[in-house]
Structure 1
Amino acid sequence: MQPKIDSIPILQLASGDLLSLQLYRFQGAKSGPKVYLQSNLHGAEIAGNAVIHQLLEWLMHLEPHQLHGEIWLVPMCNPLATNQRSHYFSTGRFNPYDGKDWNRIFWDYAKENIDLLGFVQSHLHLDAEFVRRSYLERIQLQFATLGDKLRSPASAPLSEHYRFHLQSLCLDADYLIDLHSTSNQGLDYLYYFSGRDESAKLFRLDYAILLDPYDGDAFDEAFIKPWLALEQCFATLGRNLHFNVEAWTLELGSGMQMKPDSVHKGVLGIQNYLIKKEIVQGIVLSQPVSKQQIYLTSTRQIKKYYSPYGGMIYPKVSLGESVQMGQVLYSLLSFNKQSQSPTLTEVLAAQDGIVYDLAYNHATNSGEYVLATF
């Protein structure tokens, strides 16, 4: 099965050159759910590109009758960030025009001035699929007004143009998968949302973090929050209605690297997810996914550590290591420039946890990020 390939211009540079997205669309012989995958939203987080490449090769070996629905894939979904450099280092986490995190700019229908309660009351006893279609139509109509703004004489900032192009591809999806890496050194894990615990296990990663509370207008959050709000509103009126809409962010390894093990885990997990969701049918994985236990936690359990002083870091823990409260995480060597000998300060763990993220740079200023545990 061959994908339909489209190039979508998203930004014209002063030189006249165009930056574009490349979209690969696989359409099955059977109608069914829409799956949307993208990678490299942050410039240094490149492992997802290798994952999408391997998924493309896997999907191209399918016959149309083996695909139930459609799968859209967008590698390198942020070409401006991907090409951003400082010396040898990729950065690309923040929009250079306004300083905003590229993954905190997305439009969230749940934040619009909508009468959600009125909608639920008028749809309280209607068929779930009809409710879903009606609600999606409302989202799409409101989203279309953003396009009107972009086409107006005053237009809009770059971030609004960019988010419109990207969100227009996935607004009607059933399942969304956003492939990231940490910008530092990191483990492989995923973020998930309320009521999606069992589906989280299908990716077979060792760790999963429940997004509770949310950080901001991230891509996966902006996609699923309207549906979570709808479910919650139905629940307050006594109807337990769960929509088959899911959003995931997979964090695969470290920034600026395509680690083979992280890529392999990402590919195998997504394949397993697509098969268990019966989107890809009649396929048995050549390398069965192990049945290991997944460690579920939440953003409430995350503890981030920032340097109390400027200096040089002697690390005392490694990725994946379990730490206990009071254990030494790192020592900080500080040349204080106050006619005194250098100081060596031990930084202790404030709570039990697992080290899942470590800064690359062992030279730090006061208040800079060092590591995180969950």
Structure 2
Amino acid sequence: MIPSISSIDLFKLASGDVLSLQLYKFRGKQPGKKAYIQANLHGAEIVGNAVIQQLIEFLTTLDDSQLQGEIWLVPVCNPLGVNQRSHFFSTGRFNSYDGKNWNRIFWDYEKEAKDLTEFAQTQIDHDPKTIRSNYLAKIKQAWQEELDAINRPSSVPLSRQYRYQLQSLCLDANYVIDIHSSSNQGIDFTFCFKERIISAKYLLLEYGILMNEYDGDAFDEAFLKPWLALEKELASLGKEIKFDIESWTLELGTGMVMNPTSVARGFAGIKNYLAYKKILSIPEPIATTAITLVPRDKIKSYYAPTGGMIQSRLPLKTKVNVGTQIYQLLSFNKQGQIPEIINICAENNGIVFDISANQCVNQGEYVMDILDC
């Protein structure tokens, strides 16, 4: 199966150069559902590009009869962020022009759907497929207003122009997967909406962070939140529906690193998930992993009590108990005294979930996370 490949212009720079996306579309012999997968929304989080490359390589070995529907793949989805540098370090988590987090800028229709109750009341006698079609039409109509604003002489800021290009690719998708990694050093996990817990085990990841509350500005939230709101509204009217629409953020390992283990885990999990959703028909049996789902507020962050150098820090996935020494801080002074070693101990039970890339910290800077599980 050969994909259709197209380029989408994003930004024209003052120099006249144009930054663009490359989109790979795989379409099956029979129409069906749509999966949209992107990587590298944050500039330093590059591991997902290797996952997408492996997906492209794998899909080209299949016959089009083995794909029901379509799969859209966008690697390096933020070329401005991925090219951002400070000395040797790739940054790109925040837009250097306005300081905004690249993954907190997205359009959430639910926030402006003032007539959701009235709309839901008109849909009571319809089947889920018809309701989905009707609601998607409303979303697209509102989205057209975003394009109208872009095309006005006054236009809109860069973040709105950028989000328009990305979100336009997935408004009509059934499944969205946004591949990230830690900006520091982290384990592999997924963010999971409480309303979509059942599917999480098919991603083959050991841990999931359960999102009980969300503001809708992140890519996965902006896609799914309007549909969750409609489900809730219909349920209040006595019509229980769960649309076959899901979104996931996969966090695969460490920033600025193409970790082969994380790449392999991400590729295997996505392939398995697409088979579970009956988009792919492949010989491998569909697998599940016992996933530990932990509420987001159970992540305990540790910050440096004073400035210094981190040493003897526990590695990722180490199990700790209250009182366990998790790292030492070598603290210097300008007061004629010898350097001090400060032992830092855990306040909670759990596992070492994420650790800072830099072991030199000022007072109050991030050192590590422990997941209470």
Find the counterpart in structure 2 of residue 329 from structure 1: 326
Find the partner of 1:364 among 357, 361, 365.
Answer: 361
Report the TM-score, using the length of structure 1 for normalisation. 0.96
Q: Shift in Å at residue 345 of structure 1? A: 2.2
CA contact (8 A) 1:204 1:289 kept: no
* Structure 1 counterpart of 2:92: 92
Partner of 2:24: 24
| CA deviation profile, 1:189-216 (whole Å, cap 9, x unmatched) | 1111122112110011111111222265
The percentage of counterpart residues that share the same residue type is: 54
Where in structure 1 are there 5+ consecutive unaligned residues? none
* Maintained 8 Å contact 1:51/1:263: yes
User: Which deviations, in whole Å up to 9, do the C-alpha atoms of 1:227-246 show, x marking residues without a partner?
Assistant: 11111122222222101100
SS at 1:238's partner residue?
A: coil
Q: Which amino acid aligns with 1:162?
A: Y
Aligned match of 1:347: 344
Residue 190 of structure 1 aligns with which residue?
190
| Residue 243 (structure 1) aligned with residue 243 (structure 2) | yes
1:57-76: CA deviations, max 9, x gaps?
11111111111001000000
Cα shift at 1:292: 4.3
**8 Å contact kept, 2:300–2:369:** yes
Q: CA deviation at 1:113?
A: 4.6
Matching residue's letter, 2:68: H
2:76 corresponds to: 76
Which stretch shows the higher mean deviation, 229-238 or 129-138?
229-238
Question: 2:307 matched to which residue of 1?
Answer: 310
Aligned pair count reads 371
Give the match for residue 284 of structure 1: 283
Q: What letter is aligned with 1:152?
A: R
Q: Matches of 1:130 and 1:300 in 2, distance apart?
A: 37
Greater alpha carbon shift after TM alignment, 233-242 vs 165-174: 233-242
Counterpart residue number, 1:262? 262
TM-aligned CA deviation for residue 311 of structure 1: 1.1
How far is 1:302 from its partner? Answer: 1.2
SS of alignment partner, residue 162 of structure 1: helix
Aligned equivalent of 2:298: 301
RMSD of aligned Cα (Å)? 1.4
SS in 1 for 2:247: strand
Q: How does 1:5-20 map to 2 (within 5 A)?
A: 5-20=5-20
Partner of 1:141: 141
Moved more, 227-236 or 267-276: 227-236
Q: What is the CA-CA distance between 1:301 and the residue it aligns to? A: 1.2
Deviates more, 1:2-11 or 1:203-212: 203-212
State the shift of 1:326 in Å.
Answer: 2.2
The whole-number CA distance in structure 2 between the counterparts of 1:307 and 1:108 is 36
Letter in 2 for 1:102: W
Aligned counterparts, 1:160-171, within 5 A: 160-171=160-171
The Cα of 1:330 is off from its aligned counterpart by: 1.4
CA contact (8 A) 1:304 1:373 kept: yes
Q: Is the 8 A contact 2:41 2:180 kept in 1?
A: yes
Indicate conservation of the 8 Å contact 1:44/1:93, yes or no.
yes
Per-residue CA deviation, residues 299-358 of structure 1 (Å, 9 max, x unaligned), is 121111122211111243110111112222212222232344333222222211111111
SS of the equivalent of 2:148 reads: helix
Contact 1:212 1:300 in 2 (8 A): no
| 1:175-214 equivalence runs, <5 A | 175-214=175-214
Which secondary structure does the structure 2 equivalent of 1:19 belong to? strand
1:133 and 1:157 map into 2 onto residues whose CA distance is 31
